[in-house]
Amino acid sequence: MKRKIIPGQISTKDLHQYIIASVAPRPIAFVSTLDENGIENLAPYSFFNAFSSNPPIVVFSSNRRVTDNSTKDTLHNVRVSGECVVNVVPYSIVRQMSLASVEFPSSVSEFAKTGLTPEPSETVSAPRVMESPVNMECKVKEIIPLGEKGGAGHLIICEVKLIAISESVLNGDRLDPHKLDLMGRMGRNYYVRASGEAVMEIYQSVTEIPLGFDGLPKHILESNILTGNDIASLASLKNLPDEQEITECLKYHPEFIPLDAVQKQRKAIDLIQEGKSTEALCLLMS
């Protein structure tokens, strides 16, 4: 059974919660801007993502408040200045980020309120957040309003002009997710911390054509022990083993021989989890 949600038949507030809890976890753009009087502004925006690498484009959305349809300081500032800095949010500053989301008056700098440090940017006037390990200095290309009523977003399309990266989050030329330790926003007050056991690697070649589910034997597809993820690991392999390969595999793993069908599937799950999908497929086909 699935519950049906029809936009227009529930309040915007409730609809918002269904959307933000489902489109999750979302990256957080911690956006710094300047107003026409040079007052610094800092606010988190999780309606945010990267959409292009060439040109490098990131987009976030500043919404009209549902309560009174008013718009936010960040939107005003990007309109008047045409610039912003998108700073990432690691665990080490997550509570300061949350503090910056409070509706302080426009005349107040969230840098002062959060204790975060403004540092000069190189290509825009808005400051970077020193404590954030990655800062994207951006020129605003376009602002697209998505509606007139409370809850309506404004897509702020930004072209990245410079990325400043702290050496401490790099492994050679690559950003290390464990060192970055980024936070993601979920529904309500939930966040996720993207490091340690929460991070997994899935290798999938996109150029080598794999077997796919429909290339696997029926008895594997109809298993009620193997999960969809287990079967997908087998379906990611390039070929089914031939008889010679199965014989070789059994020679190498004589412990597979006495296993019955259920035991084979359980053992296959262990092998898949150890990254030995080829052996798992041989076992299941023996």
Considering beta carbons, is residue 33 or 135 the nearer one to ligand FMN?
A: 33
Give, in degrees to the nearest 5, the angle at Cα 123 between 154 and 132: 70
* Interacting residue with ligand FMN among 32, 41, 223, 233 (CB under 6 A): 41
CB of 63 to ligand FMN, least distance (A): 4
- SS3 helix, strand, coil % of the chain, rounded to 5? 35, 25, 40
Report if residue 46 touches ligand FMN, rule: CB under 6 A. Answer: yes
Cα 159 to Cα 85: distance, rounded to the nearest angstrom: 10
Write the interaction track for ligand FMN spanning residues 93-112; mark x where CB under 6 A is met and - where it is not.
Answer: -----x--x-x---------
Piece of 55-63, 158-166, 227-235, 277-285 that binds ligand FMN (CB under 6 A): 55-63
Residues β-bridged to residue 185: 26, 191
Report if residue 267 touches ligand FMN, rule: CB under 6 A. Answer: no
Considering beta carbons, is residue 61 or 277 the nearer one to ligand FMN?
A: 61
Contacts of 94 (CB under 8 A, 6+ apart): 183, 191
Total residues binding ligand FMN (CB under 6 A): 17
Q: Record the tokens describing residue 74, joined without a space.
A: 């960040």
Cis peptide before 27 (omega within 30 of 0): no
* Interacting residue with ligand FMN among 25, 27, 40, 44 (CB under 6 A): 44
Residues β-bridged to residue 60: 48, 156
Scored b (16 or more CB within 10 A) or e, 273-285 reads: eeeebbbbbbbbb
Piece of 38-46, 113-121, 159-167, 273-281 that binds ligand FMN (CB under 6 A): 38-46
Report if residue 74 touches ligand FMN, rule: CB under 6 A. Answer: yes
Contacts of 106 (CB under 8 A, 6+ apart): 35, 39, 41, 73, 76
DSSP 201-240: -----SSS----GGGS-HHHHT-SSS-HHHHHHHHTSS--
Report if residue 43 touches ligand FMN, rule: CB under 6 A. Answer: yes
Considering beta carbons, is residue 140 or 216 the nearer one to ligand FMN?
A: 140
Piece of 57-65, 159-167, 199-207, 275-283 that binds ligand FMN (CB under 6 A): 57-65
Write the interaction track for ligand FMN spanning residues 220-259; mark x where CB under 6 A is met and - where it is not.
Answer: ----------------------------------------
Determine contact, residues 182/29, Cβ cutoff 8 Å. Answer: no
Considering beta carbons, is residue 46 or 223 the nearer one to ligand FMN?
A: 46
Report if residue 61 touches ligand FMN, rule: CB under 6 A. Answer: yes
Write the interaction track for ligand FMN spanning residues 182-211; mark x where CB under 6 A is met and - where it is not.
Answer: ---x--------------------------
- Please state, as a whole number, how many other Cβ atoms lie within 10 Å of the Cβ of residue 37: 8
Q: Which residues are at the interface with ligand FMN (CB under 6 A)? A: 28, 41, 43-47, 61-63, 72-74, 98, 101, 103, 185
